[in-house]
Every structure is written in structure tokens, then in C-alpha cells.
Amino acid sequence: MNASKVKTYVLALSALFIAAAIVAFPKVSVDASLKGLTLWWNVVFPSLLPFFIVAELLIGFGIVTFIGVLFEPIMRPIFKVPGVGGFVFVMGLVSGFPAGAKFSARLYEEKKLTKTEAERLASFTNFSNPLFLFGVVAYEFFHHPALGIVFALAHYLGNICVGLIMRFYKPHEADESNGKDTKRLFYGKVIIDALRKMHEERLKNRKPVGKMLGDAVQSSVSTLLMVGGFIILFSVLNQLLASLNGTEIIGFLIQYIFAFVHFTPELSQAIVPGLFEITVGADKISSVSAPLIEQVILTSFILGFSGLSIQAQVTSILSESNLSAKPFFIGRFFHGTFAAIFAYFLFQLVDIDTIGSRNAIPVFGFFEHHQTLMSFVPYLQAGSIITLTTLIIYILSKAVVISKQNPR
């Protein structure tokens, strides 16, 4: 039996098993779906939509080309990607998952990146949102706002290290700088050169502003609908795994690794949900009675690993542009490892007892453990209104396009 047939049978059996589990545990499946939908509807969609739309417009108006010229002397020698990678890096850091993958694929489609450069860039430009790190993980889960500094620095430094490693991805391919001497950009007319190229890029895009805005909204909403589907799916899978005692089995295997590094055995059960979804995993780890430094190290690892839910989102986005997700997968293991190591050393530098306090003012907080997103009602109400309004506009615009394509 060849490998292709084995793969077919495994995928078919897996799908049948999941379907049977959903039928066997209908209440668990529905409750998990509602939790995932609530998270996406109230928070993920309204928080990511503005970044996605604005980024699409920045690409269309040529501002990304402007940034690319300025960042060329930094991104090319350090990460072996063009200067436009600086834009993707910043947008990924500010807006969170899966922005880095979306914009890497988008710039590849615009031919501003080669296939190798896009895959390389996507491997280290996907981050957890800083508001999530400071407000949700550090404040709501661990009750120590000062830990936000540890989580954020470990997370960002870990991803930068991934970028330094991934510069050696496909090292034998020719450098696509087209013989440009990037050192010259440090001198003379760099700003003028960047402005000129930005203008040329805008002129090449002949779409009216209204058309560009409509396309930006449609592209962003389509991506976020896909993200929502994955959030709901993996929320269900996570709960089904727990109902079938899969969490205990995997945790039992991980316990041997934890025994080797002298970690609290109970943490082996808590980390398993984090391998699927980072929010649930961070919550579980923070609730285990264990030394704080062990909790911080494991949480930093799962934040870097990103969870299978986010990895599936990134894979879907990259595959639409015929980009390989293998560098991203490899980068997640490196990111988790580096983040855990950085967290260990950074933890020694932060005085949690004097800086961290439950009475400190949170940077951002609207998660309440398992009561999903109900501690910040005004924000949630605004988020749901934004989501509903945008989806109505999206549906109407799609209907107009279809009617024009199929006139009676």
C-alpha cells in the first residue's frame, strides 16, 4: 500500500471519527461552538477588521513600497527579505494572528516578494496581539500585570530569532535584490527615491478609490470568515478531546518530559489544551498550583507554538497563494523554544511581588476565565454591532457583484 492511499484512509477515518464524536456529544459540541463563535463575533472580527482593511489600502496607495525602500538596508541583510517585509513585521506585531501570513501572501500576489521570500517572511511575522499578552494573559489569567513585559519580550525576541534562523531557508537560491546596492540607501536621496516609487506604484494601480475600498473590505471579511470557522472548529475539537479523555492520555505522555526537567506533573494536563488553542491553554496553566516561573515558561512556549487552530488558519491563507507552510510550522517549534528560554531569564529580572498587583490598572482585560468575554460589556456590544454591520454590507456588496455578472 503506497503512502498516498494510507493518507487517504487516515484522513477519511479521522473525519468519520470526528463526526461520530460530535453526534455522541451533541451538548459539548454546541457549547464549544457557541464559545468559539462568541470569541470571534465579539472580539476577533471587530479587532482585526480595521487592520486588514487599512493594510489593503496601504498596499494599493503605494505606501508599502515607500516603506520597502526605507527598510531595505535592514530587512535584506538581517532577514534576507525585501524592505516591504518591515511593513508585514509591524502589522503582524500590532494586529496579531494571522496578519503576518495574510500580508505575506498579499505581497507575494503583488509580486513584491518571491515565493521563497514570502514563505520565509510568513515564518516569523505572526505574533500574539500585545493587548492580549498584557491584558488577557498577564492581568486576567495570572493577576500580575508586570508579567506582560516578560511575555511580550519573550514572544517578540523569540520570533526575531526565528527570522534569523529562517534566513537560511533555501540558502542556495539566488538573492532577489537584483544587484541593488542596499548600502547606498543609507546616503543621499533615500526619502525622495521612496516617495517617487510610492507615486509610481499608485499610478500602476488604476482602480478608483471606491473600488479599492470595496475590494479591501471584501478581502478582509472573507479572510476573517475563514478565521472564524477555524476558531469554532478547534474549540469543538478541544472540548471533544477532553470528553474522550484524550487530554489525560496526551498529558500522561507529556508528564515524562516534565519529570525530566523537574516541572510540576499537574502542568502536563494543563498544557494540552494550549496545543490546540492558546487562550484556553494559558488559562488552564495559570490555574494550576505550581511555581510561577514554571507557569510563565510553559505559557510562553504555547504562545510561541501558537496552537493548531492558528496554524490551520495560517496554512489556509498561505495555500490560497500556493505558498508552503512548512517554514511556518518549523518556526513555531523554534519560536516556542526560544520564547520559553527568554521567559526564564526575563522572569529573573522582573520583581513580581513589588510591581505586579491585582489592584494595578490593567492594560486591557475582557476575558473572565471560562465566562467568555463578559467582563467588558460596552466593548462587547460595540464589537457585535461592528461585526453585524460589516457582514450586512459584505452580503449586499456580494449581491450587487453577482447581479452585475448575471444580468437578467
Closest C-alpha among 126, 128, 46 to residue 88: 126
Q: In this predicted structure, what is the pLDDT of residue 372? A: 39
The beta strands (E) that lie in 8-49 are given as none
Q: In this predicted structure, what is the pLDDT of residue 369? A: 38
Alpha helices by DSSP H, listed for 132-208, are 147-166, 190-204
Across the chain, what does the average pLDDT equal?
A: 80
Q: In this predicted structure, what is the pLDDT of residue 373? A: 38
Closest C-alpha among 310, 306, 345, 323 to residue 149: 345
Which run of H or of E encompasses 98?
none
Q: In this predicted structure, what is the pLDDT of residue 56? A: 80
In this predicted structure, the answer to whether residue 368 has a pLDDT above a threshold of 80 is: no
Q: How far apart are CA 204 and CA 112, in angstroms?
A: 13
Cβ burial of 13 (10 Å; 0-12, 13-18, 19+) is exposed
Q: In this predicted structure, what is the pLDDT of residue 71? A: 82
* Cβ neighbours around 20 below 10 Å, total: 10
Q: What is the amino acid identity at position 10? A: V
pLDDT tens per residue across span 166-208? 988 887 765 555 445 444 444 446 677 767 777 676 667 777 7
Q: How far apart are CA 122 and CA 101, in angstroms?
A: 5
| Alpha-carbon distance values, 394 to 39, 218, 225 (Å) | 20, 6, 11
pLDDT tens per residue across span 49-95? 888 888 788 877 777 777 777 888 888 888 998 888 888 888 888 88
Most confident of 134-148, 196-210, 392-406: 134-148
Phi and psi, residue 371, nearest 5°: -80, 95
In this predicted structure, the answer to whether residue 341 has a pLDDT above a threshold of 90 is: yes
Contact 24, 200 (CB under 8 A): no
In this predicted structure, the answer to whether residue 317 has a pLDDT above a threshold of 50 is: yes
Closest C-alpha among 257, 270, 340 to residue 300: 340
**Comparing 184 with 395, which gets the higher pLDDT?**
395
**Comparing 68 with 316, which gets the higher pLDDT?**
316
pLDDT tens per residue across span 273-305? 888 888 888 888 988 888 899 999 999 999 999
In this predicted structure, the answer to whether residue 209 has a pLDDT above a threshold of 90 is: no
Which three cell numbers mark 184?
A: 547606498
What average pLDDT does this structure show over 255-273?
A: 86
Q: In this predicted structure, what is the pLDDT of residue 334? A: 94
Q: How far apart are CA 297 and CA 295, in angstroms?
A: 6
3-state secondary structure of 244: coil
Q: How far apart are CA 215 and CA 255, in angstroms?
A: 49
What's the length of the chain? Answer: 408
Which run of H or of E encompasses 223?
helix 209-243
Contact 121, 73 (CB under 8 A): no
| Alpha-carbon distance values, 154 to 177, 344, 385 (Å) | 31, 9, 35
| Alpha-carbon distance values, 13 to 247, 361, 378 (Å) | 20, 50, 45
Q: How far apart are CA 256 and CA 237, in angstroms?
A: 25
Closest C-alpha among 119, 121, 57 to residue 83: 121
Q: In this predicted structure, what is the pLDDT of residue 258? A: 85
Question: Look-up: residue for cell 513589588?
Answer: 354
Q: What is the amino acid identity at position 123? A: S
β-bridge partners, 371: 368
Closest C-alpha among 367, 397, 395 to residue 42: 367
Phi and psi, residue 368, nearest 5°: -130, 70
Contact 329, 336 (CB under 8 A): no
Phi-psi region of 146 (alpha: psi -120 to 50; beta: other; left: phi over 0): alpha
Phi-psi region of 279 (alpha: psi -120 to 50; beta: other; left: phi over 0): alpha
**Comparing 26 with 201, which gets the higher pLDDT?**
26
Q: Which of 73-77, 147-151, 238-242, 355-359 has the lowest mean pLDDT?
A: 355-359
Q: In this predicted structure, what is the pLDDT of residue 405? A: 67
Cα 191 off chain centre by: 32
